[in-house]
Amino acid sequence: MTKRLLALAILSLAVSPVRAGSPAALLRSTDPAQVFARGRVSSEFSEVKLALSPDGTRILWGSTNRPGGPGGWDLWESRKEGAASSAPSAVPFCSPQNDFDPSFAPDGSGVYFFSNRPGGSGGDDLWFAPLDSSSGRYGSARNLGPRVNSPGDEWAPVVSPDGSTLLFATDGRPGAGLHDLFVSRLVDGVWREPLPLPAVNGPGEDFDAAYLDDGRSLVFTRRTKDQEGADLWLAAWHDGRYATPRRLGPEINAEKSWNLGPSTTAAEPGVLYFSSHRPDDNVGRLDIYRIGYRLVTAPADATDLPDCAPRPASRKKGANRP
């Protein structure tokens, strides 16, 4: 695979960045990034994009090379059992094709993910596997349909905490760059025509987004042209619109590494998960890290921004995932 990327009511407000000099939210770490579930989830293999169920009992993630699954890129699950967790196993809705980027519905009713299995619109499509709350079993995955999916690739689906908006990345629709972030509004139980987030999207690759605790601010992955790896950026929501995105600092972004796959969960407010390879603490090629954070307000033109100050970039139409 060589390719990888709020609601209608707020979209008209989200097209312009915050005005110069107005306050904007910044992301501050509250503790160091640590490898998550060393040896169980984070392993010698490449682990990308953690998903925790709203009740905190199910842990899902993607791996591009962990053996034992039905396909090349598979989704894995571990169940919390008191203070411990079960041995990982491929989820039952995995296919012999690529399945990746899991994200639980806010109400725990199932898992969104992307797959290039048969029955889609072409490339990687967005799918949903229902989860029965009484039996604890997953049902058959269903394609989200051609209104959401395009002949190109759709990645990293995530639904807003209020359940109203589907956020994802695609290279199959006109946008600012290669993969761009798009949103679809849920109306009468149907996901409507997706629209881009022009205040967030740039000329390169923008994908893998996650909502923060305020339900609007985003952490997302950006890869600029010719960059070695990718970085996580913050698009803070303030005063009814998105501020100009800022590259997050070294407590999250490891230099010249693939920093991607951010995720959050209602089960752990103030916690951000992400994938990276940090030279000072790692298990495999790509591990999942956990870090505490808080959103703070500071002037948009502040110069003392150690956690979010943009720095020079040290794949995707043009890049495989690591």
Over the range 41-64, which residues count as b (16 or more CB within 10 Å of their CB) and which as e? bbbebbbbbbbbbbeeebbbbbbb
Check residue 92 and give its pLDDT: 97
- What percentage of the chain has pLDDT greater than the value 70? 84
> Who has greater pLDDT, 24 or 192?
192
CA distance 308 to 317: 27
Residue 173 lies in a domain: yes
Give residues with Cβ within 8 angstroms of 289, minimum separation 6: 33, 34, 35, 36, 273, 274, 275, 276, 278
**For 10, phi and psi rounded to 5 degrees?**
-105, -5
Residue 309 lies in a domain: no
Give the pair of three-digit tokens for residue 312.
Answer: 């020079």
Check residue 72 and give its pLDDT: 84
Residue 161 lies in a domain: yes
Mean pLDDT of 278-295: 96
Q: What is the CATH number of the domain that holds 57?
A: 2.120.10.30
On average, the pLDDT of the chain sits at: 86
Check residue 82 and give its pLDDT: 79
pLDDT at 221 over 60: yes
pLDDT at 319 over 60: no
Check residue 81 and give its pLDDT: 81
Residue 269 lies in a domain: yes
Query: 288 with 52: CB under 8 angstroms?
Result: no
Query: pLDDT-derived band of residue 177, with 50, 70 and 90 as boundaries?
Result: confident
What would you measure as the largest C-alpha separation in the chain, in angstroms? Answer: 53
Mean pLDDT of 32-60: 96
> Who has greater pLDDT, 315 or 267?
267
The end-to-end CA distance of the chain, in Å, is 11
Query: pLDDT-derived band of residue 299, with 50, 70 and 90 as boundaries?
Result: low
pLDDT at 296 over 90: no
The angle at the Cα of 106, spanning 287 to 185, to the nearest 5 degrees, equals 110
Q: Which range (54-63, 73-82, 296-305) has the least confidence?
A: 296-305
**What's the pTM value of the predicted model, to 2 decimals?**
0.86
Model pLDDT for residues 94-114, shown as the tens digit of each residue: 999 999 999 999 999 999 999
Most confident of 111-115, 303-307, 312-316: 111-115
CA distance 250 to 240: 29
Check residue 26 and give its pLDDT: 84
Q: Count of domains in the chain?
A: 1
Query: 88 with 76: CB under 8 angstroms?
Result: yes
pLDDT at 131 over 70: yes
Query: 46 with 64: CB under 8 angstroms?
Result: yes
Residue 1 lies in a domain: no
Check residue 86 and give its pLDDT: 92
Model pLDDT for residues 227-264, shown as the tens digit of each residue: 999 999 999 998 888 999 999 999 999 999 999 999 99
> Who has greater pLDDT, 50 or 2?
50
Model pLDDT for residues 15-24, shown as the tens digit of each residue: 233 333 445 5
Show the domain range for 122: 8-299
Residue 13 lies in a domain: yes
Check residue 4 and give its pLDDT: 41
Residue 322 lies in a domain: no
pLDDT at 315 over 50: no
Query: Locate tokens 């005063």: which residue?
Result: 239
Check residue 7 and give its pLDDT: 26
Residue 305 lies in a domain: no
